[in-house]
Chains A and B, each alone.
Chain A
Amino acid sequence: MDALIVTQAINVVYAVSTLAVLTLGLAVIFGLLGVLNIAHGEFVMIGAYCAYLTQSWNWPYLVALPLTLALCALLGAAVERIMIRPLYRRPFDTLVATWGLSLLLRKIAEAIFGPGFHSVTIPLPGTVQFLGIEYPIYRVVLIAVSFAVAAVLMIWYGRSRTGSRIRAMVSNPELAQAQGISVRRLAAATFIAGTCLAGLGGVMVAPLVPVQPFMGLDYVLRAFFVLVVGGLGSVPGLLSGAAAIGGVDSAISAASNATDGYFAVLVLAILFLWLKPRGLIARG
């Protein structure tokens, strides 16, 4: 096989899998709680800054993970308590409130780290040889971890007790409450899981992107478009959405330029809103 084609194919797989993992957090919160967390991208940003801090303190890269999870969980819990819980079933108000939160987190990052770029060195340098090509090890690991996270989440949601409680809450909160499920705690836990997943995504992509206060905006929009195209509430939906958005973006950007790629993604999302508002794969 042509080495170039293989490389391109793996590049697409890489783009799609990172997009999917960066969407997971938003998907959990939007799909299960019906809350569109516009600050999703800022939780990704927090993960990325944690990675940057870990490295600048000369700690092992993996330390960034517990650091991020702790920070995102704490923040997620506070946010859920203060601005999400009072506004459940008022989706428009939560939208505005989380938009304010995204602004706040962005400005805090700017105040602490300055408006400029920071870069994070790749923790696993070097390449690996397979299928007759050389490919960066870190990217391969990233692809593997993305799929692992998505698979674990899917199996856990489908099989575990908590997973079935969440499903009960999603389909009928009152009935779930009457069955002795603490919907309030479960919803809070779900929200925190979403923010932690976003932070995790941030740690993963930090070495590959410029870390800066405004990075979150792009992630939340892309993640949102993935959900519009893929549909809410299932991992296959999320993956197909990521494939569509990531695929179109990479293809058009490669053929023309990044602006056209972005434009194509936007048009695709609007088309889906028109023609298939429930996305490719709606909740089963």
Chain B
Amino acid sequence: MRAASLVVVIALALPLVLGQFWAYQLGLYALYASAAIGIGLCWGQSGFLPLGQALFFGLSAYLSGFAFIAFQQHSFIAVLTMPVIAFVSGLFAYGIGFVVLRRPGENTAYFSMITLALSLLAFQIATSWNSVTGGFDGLKGIPGLPGLSDLSDVYYVSAAVLLIVLGLASWLYHAPLGVLWRALAQNERRLALLGFDVRMLKAVAFAVSGFMAGVGGAVYAPQQGIVTPQLVGFGLSADLVIWAAIGGRASLIGPVIGTLLVGSLSAELRDSVPFWEVLMALFFIVIVLAFPQGIAGLIEPAWQRLEGRPRGPAPVLAPKGLTDRPAARLALSDVSVHLGEVTILDHLSLDFDRAGIFCVIGPNGAGKTSMFNVVSGELAASSGRVDLGGMEIGALAPHRISHLGLARKLQIPSVFPHLSIADNLAIALWSGRATKLQLLDPRLRRWTSPMLEELKSRYPFLASGGRKAAELSHGEQQILELAMALLTEPRVLLLDEPCAGLSPEETGAVVDIVRWAARRLRGSVIIVEHDMSLVKELAELVYVLHNGTLLARGSVAAVQASPAVRAVYVGGTK
């Protein structure tokens, strides 16, 4: 709160200190700054970079220009259209995000390139569509905002707009949605396996950034009185990225500092200092390679002292899972997976028809992890079907399967390394419990559940909430991930070598937790494991996979006695 009031005081005092000219100049850059906050939201928070953000700024500026010209006599109506225009801009961004971000993971580069291309296209349209946009010379004669008397009034309008956008960003960054955006940037796969629609999260992030740029653009038109094609082009798009980076993309205030400082300085020095823009480009590269925190990294400690330590309010009990999940039965029937010439699963049928602990063993390359990938929705089966609780899940996305009561722990500890332990656990609690709207409510970060309390009393490190997950040891990260999988209260829990790389004590802890979970969840726990001593200790039933198909099934003793299984492990003929 203190930090926020300081920002407001500075914003109010600036024109008095700097004089009218600079106030006017800052009034312009304050509008660009709200677009730059959007870049920070996408790049610094969510981990994907739009390279054509001016598209939304310029589009809204044109629309707002049209509105102010059309409602010349009733400028009051024109003012009312401004939020609508910003909203349209956000909707447009959502559409683009939804179309381009269809496939998870590797497409961040594609997204950047396509947004860049869109901005070039928009520039072409803006220059060539003379009758509507005024062509290269731009849309001229846009009436100003009503009721403004001098240049500092112009500044105060922009400053107010910027503060509103900052407030919106601050709220979102503190809300669960912001936590999920940061989680998205750190470990998209884990987030999807926990039951979150990553495509939707990205599209929403892009939509909000489009809205923020739209707010800036909508005010720009009446403020400047002219809208030129440069406003949608790659030049401004590039500047926004540079400003956000230099100011500090990951922080809330960084893009604002970058824009106000570098942007307005550039406007002054571009023509007088030779190679100024070359210097800025060099500066950008150095920042990206060596100082990702930007300027905000320098002032962050002071900022945090100003904010004060957040008081730990009392935790709130999370509601029970939204879906009343049916008793789980996981069954694979006749599932095959071919990748090119290679057959990974070969008419595999498995039935886990009751609650309990099951182990899946088999030599390397037997298809154990691929079987998990098919079940969790990450690998499409070429043929066959997979049922969970009587519902076919073969064609469902990982987050949908998670909602049906499946959780999975990956082999290598997979958590959100730069989020606090508390946030890591909270994300798991939100899965399947929080509605989309609730993700906007910061109070959800204090959720707890009986199971979480029990886990905390068993493993006290889980209660040291403020520490980052990356600071935990390998074994603690394994337990944290396991705890996250458990907190979704799954009916079927997949564990891929949960004890790999653990010390004997840590292995003992995991064995405990697995037994406890199986009792507590009354579902089935399916473990892929190499360590036979562990299998002996845990398994009620063992499935042996070989060459992508089921070789044997039975108790530990029965499987160990089976000649076929021995042949596979010892070698020799199949």
Contacts and interface: CB of A to CB of B under 8 A. Distances in A.
B72 to A, nearest CB: 30
Contact of A100 (B102, B118, B281): B281
A29 to B, nearest CB: 13
A107 B277 contact: yes
Given A111-B277, A259-B124, A263-B121, A99 B51 contact: yes
Contacts of A225: 117
A273 B103 contact: yes
A111 B275 contact: yes
A101 B121 contact: no
A110 to B, nearest CB: 7
B49 interface: yes
B277 A221 contact: no
A257 interface: yes
Contacts of A110: 277
Nearest to A91: B109
A262 B103 contact: no
Interface residues of B, number: 39
B298 interface: no
B109 A36 contact: yes
A221 B109 CA distance: 12
Contacts of B502: none
A273 B277 contact: no
B47 A83 contact: no
A210 to B, nearest CB: 16
A100 B289 CA distance: 10
Contacts of B118: 266
B378 to A, nearest CB: 16
A269 B107 CA distance: 13
B521 interface: no
Interface in A242-280: 257-259, 262-263, 266, 269-270, 273-274, 277
B117 A221 contact: yes
B120 A221 contact: yes
Of A93, A273, A277, which is in contact with the most chain B CB atoms at under 10 Å from its CB? A273
Interface in A207-256: 217-218, 221, 224-225, 228
Contact of B289 (A83, A95, A273): A83
A92 B109 contact: yes
Contact of A266 (B109, B121, B275): B121
Interface string A84-114: 0011000111011101110110111011000
Interface in B250-304: 274-275, 277-278, 280-282, 284-285, 288-289
A274 B99 CA distance: 8
A224 B238 CA distance: 19
B76 interface: no
Given A221-B113, A263-B121, A274 B108 contact: no
Looking at chain B's contact residues, is the secondary structure mostly helix, strand, loop, or mixed? helix
A259 B125 contact: yes
A191 to B, nearest CB: 17
A136 B120 CA distance: 31
A221 to B, nearest CB: 5
Interface in B43-59: 47-49, 51
B285 A273 contact: no
Interface in B113-151: 113-114, 116-118, 120-121, 124-125, 128
Interface in B445-489: none
A96 B49 contact: yes
A45 B503 CA distance: 58
A108 B278 contact: yes
Contacts of B282: 104
B112 interface: yes
Given A92-B47, A99-B51, A111-B278, A270 B114 contact: yes
B100 A217 contact: no
Contacts of A97: 285, 288-289
Contacts of A101: 285
A100 B114 contact: no
Contact of A92 (B108, B241, B280): B108
Of B100, B117, B121, B124, which is in contact with the most chain A CB atoms at under 10 Å from its CB? B117
A150 B88 CA distance: 46
B234 interface: yes
Interface string A169-213: 000000000000000000000000000000000000000000000
Nearest to B49: A96
Given A99-B51, A103-B238, A217-B234, A93 B288 contact: yes
A39 to B, nearest CB: 11
Contacts of A96: 49, 288
B380 to A, nearest CB: 13
Contacts of A36: 109, 113
Interface string B229-247: 0000010001001100000
18 contacts: A36-B113, A38-B113, A83-B285, A91-B109, A99-B241, A100-B288, A103-B284, A104-B281, A107-B280, A111-B277, A257-B128, A258-B124, A259-B121, A259-B125, A262-B121, A266-B117, A269-B114, A273-B100
Given A99-B112, A270-B99, A273-B110, 8 more contacts: A82-B289, A100-B284, A104-B278, A107-B281, A111-B274, A111-B277, A259-B124, A259-B125
Closest 3 CB pairs of A and B: A104-B281, A100-B285, A107-B277
